[in-house]
Amino acid sequence: MQFFNHMSGKHLEIDGAEIYYEVQGNEGGEPIVFLHGGFGSIEDFNPILADMGQTYKLIGIDSRGQGMSSLGTEELTYKRLEMDIAAVLRYLDIGPVNIIGHSDGGITALRLAAAGDIDIRKVVTIGAHWELKTEDPTRALYSEVTPEGWREVFPDSYERYQSLNPQPNFERLTRQLVGLWLDSSDSGYPGATVRNIDCELLVVRGDDDMLVSRTNAVDLVEQVPGAKLMNLPFCGHSPHEEQPDITLWAINKFLTT
């Protein structure tokens, strides 16, 4: 079994930050790129990786400022994350790739697919917005996130960050992530550009997700011709961690059809 472990990867310097990436699984297999959510790391995908490594080449990339990637000096935006991932994939010189992205990672995957600069075969988004309207109640939730509040509610997440990150500064990371989530400019959510996506898309959402509404997920599917929706009952924002078996079934079905 192959899992991301933060022991066998490498760093690539990109515009003032050291971006960590790790390759596991079948070296000769079809590549899948994994992009995690905010305050997370590539290890968040381990619940669904047990058997995938036998077939696929697994490429995990820690987002700028998270996991084992340093934050650098630039402002954290979805455009910046898109540029980082594109740079790593160009450096690895692989393609076409599949991308599985959770939350911020899914948003970044949508931007990459819409831009069309990377050869992408299929994209799976999990708990990811494609737009965040001014009146969306999630904006209020994001604006209330503080370093102290996050540490209190998610102590394991904080401790993992502190143990992994080469230049930990949790207060600065939190400010940068809140700015990322609330960004209404062209550097933020992909918005109407998702209509440019011409690869296959599977949208996965937990039915109890308090951040991404059912309407938002349905609207995304309707923007992209041929896109498929899996709305999973009895789980929230992270179906790959809460219901890994059924999530993995859907992903495997999607990748092989």
Q: How confident is the model at residue 111, as a pLDDT?
A: 98
> How does the average pLDDT of the chain come out, rounded?
97
pLDDT beyond 80 at 167: yes
97-104: average pLDDT: 98
Return the number of other C-beta atoms located less than 10 Å from residue 250's C-beta. Answer: 17
Q: 91: closest CA among 164, 19, 17?
A: 19
pLDDT in tens, 106-139: 999 999 999 999 999 999 999 999 999 999 999 9
Six-digit token string for 244: 């890994």
79-93: average pLDDT: 97
143-167: average pLDDT: 97
Q: How confident is the model at residue 50, as a pLDDT?
A: 85
What is the residue extent of each domain of the chain? 10-256
Q: How confident is the model at residue 95, as a pLDDT?
A: 84
Q: How confident is the model at residue 85, as a pLDDT?
A: 98
pLDDT in tens, 18-45: 999 999 999 999 999 999 999 999 999 9
Q: How confident is the model at residue 1, as a pLDDT?
A: 58
pLDDT confidence tier of residue 172, bands split at 50, 70 and 90: very high
Q: 48: closest CA among 82, 17, 28, 24?
A: 24
Helix (H) or strand (E) run with residue 230 in it: strand 228-232
Q: How confident is the model at residue 51, as a pLDDT?
A: 87
Burial of 62: CB neighbours in 10 Å, binned 0-12, 13-18, 19+? buried
Return the number of other C-beta atoms located less than 10 Å from residue 166's C-beta. Answer: 12
Distance of alpha carbon 256 from the chain centroid = 21
What is the number of residues in the chain? 257
Q: Which fold has domain 10-256?
A: Rossmann fold (3.40.50)
Residue whose tokens read 């990786």? 49
Give the predicted TM-score (pTM) of the model. Answer: 0.97
Helices (H), the chain: 52-55, 78-92, 104-115, 138-143, 147-153, 155-164, 170-182, 214-223, 239-242, 244-256
Residue 36 to residue 45: CA distance in whole angstroms: 8
How would you classify the pairing of strands 30-35 and 56-61?
A: parallel
pLDDT in tens, 45-57: 999 998 899 999 9
Residue 196 to residue 154: CA distance in whole angstroms: 37
Phi and psi at 123, nearest 5°, equal -125, 135
Computed on alpha carbons and rounded to an integer, the radius of gyration of the chain in Å comes to 17
Are the beta carbons of 37 and 104 closer than 8 angstroms?
yes
Percent of the chain whose pLDDT exceeds 70: 100
Q: How confident is the model at residue 2, as a pLDDT?
A: 75
